[in-house]
Amino acid sequence: MKVDVSSEIGALKGVILHTPGHEVENMTPENAERALYSDILNLSVATKEYIYLKRVLDRVTGTCEVKDLLVETLQDDRVREDLIRRIATSEDAAAEIELLLRMSPQLLATQLIEGVVLKRDNLTRFLSKERYSMRPLHNFLFTRDASMTLYGEVLIGKMARKVRDRESMIMEAIFKSHPGFGVNTINPVSLITDSGNLSNITIEGGDVLIANDDVLVIGNGSRTSTEGIDFLIEVIKAKRTGLKHLIVQELPESPESFIHLDMTFTFLNKDSCMIYKPLILQSSKFHTIHITIDNGVVTGIHERKNILKALDKLGLELKPVFCGGKQDPWIMEREQWHSGANFFAFAPGKVIGYERNDYTLEDMSRNGFTIIRAQDFLEKNLDHNDFSKLVVTIPGSELARGGGGARCMTMPFSREKVEW
């Protein structure tokens, strides 16, 4: 399975998904905030909605499930033991190592994702208020964050919240050791020396967008720190591969709907993008910074008016389509909250997003996109190649409450090149 992604919009050749399972149910209102949710989800409803995303992608490309890849990766005894010990050390769960080592790859994969129930075999454990010795991965349906395909390599996420660290460990094991991958991974945890300040380095996939071979657009906010972006700058410098551009957009710390850049800005086509207007075009408080790196040296750091102006200077002229429309700020805010700007492109001008964001879809229609519900797309056996610009909409009454959209729930590892 060749790993190669050089844009956000190239025709999709391979994508990793994780259909939500019992780990989503293993949450209560009391611990939802710790799990990075503002509410608890109904698994049966969320799964029905998610299946539309998966079925659409199955129609247009090859899809892989995280759990299936993990089971196959864990067939290697050395890899299995190394992963168990690293996770147990990270989560102060050394007491579980022997139990986990005895599990089959299938059961172990399930436990690592859905959580290991705490054995109450001593007084401390008996009195503990915790249900799990290794907590469920409530956020793993958002496969975008823990690993990012950057051209021919995979950048492993350094997560901002420890509750998600295991996701990164699992994805690194898959990309390094699964027989179908075996690609080079870039992991801040492994590469930072003792002199580096690893505690301040965070970088997640929702903040990293690939414009083309030479341009990255990166969010700087609650999940990706300036130190995380500086780490990426050092990685690019070390490669000495000619002129590269990083467009960095500062994000508000709150509300939580601004968790990642792709909640306010996503690429739709070679000539258009989706934006949340109040932040991308109107805000003067949050900086847009253009960093140039040429053959291993940072040659410039300059402030730009906004992302669109910065990209325009680089020859990428994008017409904005507006999340929530462009008339009523209240509607914009409501639809942005429900991932109205978070679209996933499976080909140039062919994207997936939530059907609930009516005003966003109206503006996409005004810009020439045909809007088709996923159910109709599938039942009528439609071919996306018959449309010049297309939005396939998936239901999202429950999924959107988890705090992410179609881009958040997809981790592409291979796309075709785009001719600009």
- By three-state DSSP, how is residue 290 classified? strand
User: Could you tell me if residue 300 is inside a domain?
Assistant: yes
Element (H, E) at 170: helix 165-177
pLDDT score at 30: 62
User: What is the model's pLDDT at position 35?
Assistant: 47
Structure confidence at residue 192 (pLDDT): 67
Domain count, the chain: 1
Query: Is residue 4, in this structure, part of any structural domain at all?
Result: no
Quick check: 181 and 3 in contact, CB under 8 A? yes
pLDDT at 321: 98
Does residue 287 belong to any structural domain of this protein?
Answer: yes
Q: Is residue 420 part of a domain?
A: no
> Exposed, middle or buried, 281 (CB in 10 Å: 0-12/13-18/19+)?
middle
6 found inside a domain: no
String of DSSP letters for 77-88:
HHHHHHHHHHHH
- 5: DSSP letter: B
pLDDT along the chain (420 residues), means of 10: 95 97 77 56 92 97 97 97 96 94 97 93 87 91 96 96 95 96 91 63 97 97 95 93 95 89 98 97 92 96 97 97 95 95 98 97 98 98 97 94 93 95
Is 182 among the domain residues? yes
Whether 311 is covered by a domain: the verdict is yes
Kindly state whether residue 320 falls inside one of the protein's structural domains: yes
Q: Which two tokens stand for residue 96?
A: 């579980």
The predicted pLDDT at position 130 comes to: 86
Question: Residue 254: its pLDDT value, please?
Answer: 83
Would you say how long the chain is, in residues?
A: 420
The strand ranges marked E within 305-367 are 319-322, 344-347, 350-354
Query: CATH no. for residue 191?
Result: 3.75.10.10
pLDDT at residue number 173: 97
Measured CA to CA, the distance from residue 64 to residue 69 in angstroms comes to 7
Convert 33-60 to b/e letters by CB count within 10 Å (16 or more is b): eebbbeebbebeebbebbebbbebbebb
Alpha-carbon distance of 244 to 236, in angstroms, equals: 8
* CA-based nearest residue to 43, from 65, 24, 29, 30: 24
Is-above-0.85 flag for pTM? yes
Q: What is the dihedral of CA 246, 252, 257, 259, to 10 degrees?
A: 50
Report residue 329 as tokens.
């700020």
